[in-house]
A and B are shown apart, each in its own frame.
Chain A
Amino acid sequence: MKKVSYFLAALLGLSIQFASAQVKKGSVLIKNATVLTITNGTLENSDVLVQDGIIKKIGEGLKAPNGVTTIDASGKYLMPGIIDAHSHLGLDVVNEASSPIVAEVHMKDVVNPYEVGIYRALAGGVTISHAMHGSANVIGGQNATLKHRYGSTDPADIIMQDAPRTIKFALGENPTRVHGRGRGIQPRTRMGVEAVIRNGFNEAIQYKKAWAEYKEASSKKGSTALPPEYNERLQTLADILDGKIIIHCHSYRADEIYMLINVARDFGITKLVFQHTNEGFKVAPEIAEYTMGASVFADWWAYKFEVYYSTAYNAAILTENGAITSINSDDAELIRHLYHEAAKTQRYGGMTDEQALAMITINPAKQLGINDKVGSIEEGKQGDLVIFEGHPLSSYTIPQMTFVDGVKYFDINEDADDQRLKVSPTQMVEEVTIYEGHNARCMQDTEHLFETTEALFHLNH
């Protein structure tokens, strides 16, 4: 059964190459809400008009154009759709763990729009997630930024096609365990991790040079120059060097974070975001100065040794030091209450409402390179919105409605129990899965490469 779905996903993945996505765009007027714009303060009793998927007008006393539904949000809060900078939601496969560098792999080829988790994320106000390759490789595959248009069955329709390219890197325990310890090849240490990256980029420089030489030679009259062999892996690394791809790097310890900052500076790379970043607080000034910031857990720690010396004040320290900071989930449950995870920065570090909300809206949007399109309520931006009963930073708040491109995908009052898009005709009794805590998928599909206990399988961030 699983095999069939992989096959289907592969087929659907192929179709992305040919289909030009036609996604639904909606129009709606939301009235009388407390509007948390994120970038322009809080507007009391204000209206937001979305037309054909774009925020057209923000103000008071707006009238709905013909045929546009009006929603009265009196007493409720309206904020931009929440963005998760680190997720594996909607992916059928997460790791291609066969080499320390697999830059040629694309997550858009394994996007599964049927995953009910996408609906559940919408029910938590999350409209965009960054579907990342896993952390088995030093340089992993290229990620996909997803718009949660649940109900679409074409993977192309839930991929945010206008988002820039991003790629997964990973430092520390995961790549050294899978490659060095799992199969006896470099890297086994953090020194090896650095070497793999530097070797990769230097090879990419040679590759670029070979192509540049060929192009120059071939432009000459009567040239018989032969092109170098095309190599998707090296071409992708070359694209990183050319600033066409944002690096999102799984990292925990301060030393490895500092290492990658140095490597990036040596190679002139500026588009770099750190993920997890548990010890980011120790090198917060460096992260602030040289990178696009850090995407962190609100409070996860101690599940493995490299996160033992963590602090829940991480996000606050990073923010106070001027680093762009986002709070991510990396987890199918946590993604459902990122508003609450962000709120924890108020207990741990006294973040203001604006600072806390920015960590799940405009800041992750910046890190994904989509802040000109989403992440705040501004005229001209995409109509990704969520209505909350109660302030979104209250522990008691409940999301009420979620919109993507002005289309309503979640409404608590119309929420049916069963939101699956398909039901297996062969499954007589539905599978029951008991939640056993952290369920991150960073290391999914690499279990066989681990040398130790079963317990690890649940702890592979």
Chain B
Amino acid sequence: MQRLKQIFFAFLLSVLPLMASAQIDGEFIKPRAGKFLLQNATVVTITNGVMENSSVLVEDGKITAVGAKISADGAEIIDCSGKFIYPGMIDGGTQLGLVEVSSVAETVDYAEVGDFTPNMQALTAVNPNSVAIPVTRVSGVTTVLTVPTGGIFPGTAALINLNGYTPDQMYAGFKAIAMNFPRSGRRGRYDRRSDEDIKKANEKALKEANELWDKAKSYAEMAAAEAELDYYPEMAQLAKATTGELPLLIEVNTASDIKAALEWIKDKDAKVIFAGVAEGWRVAEEIAEAGIPVVTGPIQALPTRESDRYDAAYANAGKMAKAGVKVAIRTNGQENVRNLPFFAAFAAAYGMGKEEAWKAVTINSAEIFGLGDQYGSIEAGKVANLIVADGDPFETKTNIHHVFIDGYRMPLSNRQIRLYQEFLDRSPGLNVN
């Protein structure tokens, strides 16, 4: 088997120069649009159950039909016998595209200077040609929220599809204003501040957040009254969160901070989404009662407290879902967003169940972002973000055979695969010549 694979790759390498424009399975040069009929698969729709021996028709970037008997009329037929079609996975929180090499400051574009920079647009800084993007999509992740970090209001997050040559081509139709809810805890083991200093810093940040919010609210009211306002792009942007024009994506993690955040949003008209929520399981009932949806993760994480059960982080998503919280999963990742399916698998195993875990990386994220009618399931009329796999994509043994984004059939290659092809059977090998 392994040998076969080597021969296949050797063949591929030898013919590649001859067929720069030709396309064969597994090595496409470019994403390709068209009319495709994905035939005879098990279709996991997410919203309408599992359909055996069914097909999915893709035209003009959309899913136009799902069912047993679909006419192939002019479509390129892709035989999916014995395979499974799932909707593309959505990662509800990343910095993908905003960074290339984390330790090289020149390539880090997710954190602007200052506490109050809501007008910083993630979409502007997304690099469509980041090497990490093709690395991500071959795992079945087709859409991610990319979020600025740093200050209290660090910027505006954007949902992007992982295909396109400009940020606008990638934009998937959802933006949110990110907020880092003032933290009462320690910032990891490098944080050597005293308890009192931490408390003071937290109070100061909360006061600052309140002042900024109130000011933004006034700004929105004055703008609505058509008052003449000074140029203040930060306020103009945050104002959109005070009126509900843009959702507020609040990063909040410890139980006490979650409670404080729930209290903080009570008298506000904001559309709130919680992100992170590492200790959500401690206050799951309260989050559910408030009806706040949650994008949680990374799932593969350490417990927040030494006294916690070892699997606290793995079980968190499931516990919140069981309490009635609408839960989506994120990696909070940069280069390794490709691990989203495995994070979902861990959540599934530690109490969430497979079905709910699938929702947490598809329809729940879509609905939380207000795009439930366009993404997150396989239904006619939705955007054609699809993956075809020979098994359960949450399992590492499973191979992903096709990825469609926005109706484009994506090349299943990336730099990591090309390195594999070049170096698996290196020539010259050990000796010179």
Contacts and interface: CB of A to CB of B under 8 A. Distances in A.
A244 interface: no
Contacts of B399: 347
A305 B104 contact: yes
Interface stretch (B265-273, B297-305, B358-366): B297-305
A123 B187 CA distance: 26
A250 B397 CA distance: 29
B105 interface: yes
B335 A303 contact: yes
B1 interface: yes
Contacts of A282: 423, 426
Interface stretch (A22-30, A66-74, A151-159, A388-396): A388-396
Contact of A285 (B100, B253, B348, B430): B430
Nearest to B418: A311
A302 B100 contact: yes
A434 B306 contact: no
B338 interface: yes
A346 to B, nearest CB: 5
Given A395-B395, A417-B309, A435 B420 contact: no
Sort chain A's interface into a size bin.
Answer: 35 or more
B91 interface: no
A168 interface: no
B207 to A, nearest CB: 22
Given A281-B419, A285-B429, A437 B298 contact: yes
Interface string B116-146: 0000000000000001100000000000000
B103 interface: yes
A456 B103 contact: yes
Contacts of B305: 430-433
B278 A434 contact: yes
A418 B108 CA distance: 39
Contact of A312 (B101, B183, B416, B424): B416
B417 interface: yes
Contact of B189 (A119, A281, A304, A433): A433
A395 B104 contact: no
Interface string B312-353: 010000000000000000001111101101100110111000
A214 interface: no
Contacts of B313: 435
A419 interface: yes
Interface string A423-443: 100000111111111010000
Contact of A431 (B2, B186, B341, B398): B186
Interface residues of B, number: 73
Contact of A415 (B5, B310, B420): B310
Contact of A434 (B102, B185, B307, B339): B185
B230 interface: no
Nearest to B256: A432
Contacts of B394: 395-396
A313 B335 contact: no
Contacts of A332: 302
Contact of B430 (A286, A333, A395): A286
B132 to A, nearest CB: 7
A398 B396 contact: no
Contacts of B61: none
Interface stretch (A7-15, A98-106, A447-455): A447-455
Interface string B267-284: 000000000101100000
Given A285-B429, A431-B305, A393 B396 contact: yes
B103 A303 contact: yes
Contact of B306 (A123, A310, A430): A430
A299 to B, nearest CB: 6
Contacts of A347: 396-399
Interface string B165-201: 0000000000000000001011111100001000000
B279 A432 contact: yes
B420 A299 contact: no
Given A434-B278, A435-B278, A435-B304, A313 B311 contact: no
Nearest to B426: A285
B254 interface: yes
B308 interface: yes
A350 B349 contact: no
A54 B216 CA distance: 69
Interface stretch (A204-212, A335-343, A364-372): A335-343
**A-B pairs, 6 with minimum CB distance:** A395-B345, A313-B420, A435-B301, A302-B335, A311-B416, A304-B103
8 contacts: A303-B101, A303-B103, A333-B300, A395-B342, A418-B308, A423-B307, A434-B304, A436-B188
Given A309-B419, A332-B302, 14 more contacts: A119-B310, A301-B336, A302-B101, A302-B131, A303-B103, A309-B415, A313-B417, A313-B424, A396-B395, A398-B350, A419-B310, A431-B305, A434-B183, A434-B253
